[in-house]
Amino acid sequence: MHFEYQIEGGNFTRAGFASSEIKKMMKQLNVDLGIIKRTVVATYEAEVNVVAHAYSGTIYVDFDEEKVVIKLVDEGPGIDDINQAMTEGYSTASSTVREMGFGAGMGLPNMKKNADDLQITSEVGKGTTVIITMFFAKSEQ
Amino acid sequence: MTVKEIAEKLDFQVLGGEKGLDQAVTTGYVSDLLSDVMGNARAGSIWVTLQTHKNVMAIASLKDLAAIILVNNHKPEDDMLAQSNEEGIPVLATSMGTFDVSGKLYELLRK
Ligand SMILES: Nc1ncnc2c1ncn2[C@@H]1O[C@H](COP(=O)(O)OP(=O)(O)O)[C@@H](O)[C@H]1O
Ligand SMILES: [Mg+2]
C-alpha cells in the first residue's frame, strides 16, 4: 500500500493530518498499539518540522507485511549540522512558533526515541529527507 | 472517573466536545510544550494547558487524551473548538490557574 500527502510550510492548521491518517490505517491493520503510539509520535514531529522549518514537503507512506516506511521529503533551508539539531533543546524556531508551544527542541529527540529506524539526510539550501521505519513485530534484540 | 464527573466536581465549564464527556480519565498531564505532551502524556489523560489553538486538538486526538482543561479563563480559538466537537474530545475551562487545577485534579484522580 502506498500513500502520499502534501505538507505546506507555515500552515499549522493542517499539521498532524498525515499522522492521523497513518494512525487510522495502522489501527485497521491491527498493528500492536504500542507500535502505533511510537509511530504517531515520530511521524507527528517529522510532519511539524516540515511545517515549522521548511517551505513545502511530501510524505510518502509505504506499508508492507512487516513494516511501514514513512519518508518526508521537503524543500527548505536544510540542516547544516544534524548532530547539533538532534541535541535536546536545540531549536531555531521563530518566537511565534515558540509561543504556540512548538520549538522546544524536543522533536528530533522524540523521533529518535520512538522510531525503530531513523535516517536523516539534508542539503543546506535545498531541503531535508527524513525516513522513519517502524516494524510491526518486535525483532529479537 | 469520567470527564463529566470531574467537570461537575471541580465546576469546570464544558465548552465543547460533549460527545466525549463519558470518557474515563486515568491521569493528568500539565504542559504548554506540545512536544513534551506528544512525547510523555499517557492515553486517557486530562491535559492542563493555556494553549488555545487547533494543534492542541490534533495532539489530543493522536495521543488518545480524554479531555483538555484550559486554565485562567483562556478561551479556545474557533477552529480548536470546532475540532473538539468533531472529535468528541471535551474542552473544559476554568478561572483557576495551573497550580490550583493540578492540585485539585491530583486529589481527585489519585484515589
Ligand atoms: N525539516 C527541517 N528542515 C530544516 N531544519 C530542520 C528540519 N527539521 C529540524 N530542523 C532543525 O533542527 C532543529 C531541531 O528540531 P526539533 O528537535 O524538531 O526541534 P524544534 O522543531 O522544536 O525546533 C530545528 O529547530 C531546525 O533548526
Ligand atoms: Mg520540531
Cell 548532530 found at? A83
Domain boundaries, given as residue ranges, for chain A:
2-135
What pLDDT was estimated at residue A138?
Answer: 60
CATH class of B3-109: alpha beta
Q: Which atom of ligand 1 has the smallest separation from the CA of A103?
A: 22
What pLDDT was estimated at residue A137?
Answer: 82
What pLDDT was estimated at residue B94?
Answer: 98
Mean pLDDT, rounded, for A127-141 = 83
Q: Is the pTM of this model over 0.90?
A: yes
- State whether the beta carbon of A134 lies less than 6 angstroms from ligand 1: no
Nearest to A104 among B36, B54, B55 (CB): B36
Is the pLDDT confidence value at B111 over 90? no
For a pLDDT cut of 70, what percent of chain A falls above it? 97
Is the pLDDT confidence value at B86 over 50? yes
Mean pLDDT, rounded, for B22-48 = 97
Q: Which residues 42-71 on chain A approach chain B with CB closer than 8 angstroms?
A: 44-45, 48
Please judge whether B58 and A107 are an interchain contact, meaning their C-beta atoms are less than 8 angstroms apart.
Answer: no
Mean pLDDT for all residues in chain B? 97
The CATH topology of domain A2-135 is Heat Shock Protein 90 (3.30.565)
3-state secondary structure of A24: helix
Q: Which atom of ligand 1 has the smallest separation from the CA of A110?
A: 17
What pLDDT was estimated at residue A90?
Answer: 97
- State whether the beta carbon of A57 lies less than 6 angstroms from ligand 1: no
pLDDT band at A139 (very low <50, low <70, confident <90, very high): very low
What CA–CA distances, in Å, run from B75 to B32, B59, B72, B95?
15, 18, 9, 11
Distance in Å, CA B16 to ligand 1 centroid: 33
Cell of B2: 469520567
- Residues 6+ away with beta carbon under 8 Å from B25: B1, B2, B3, B6, B44, B45, B46, B66, B67, B109
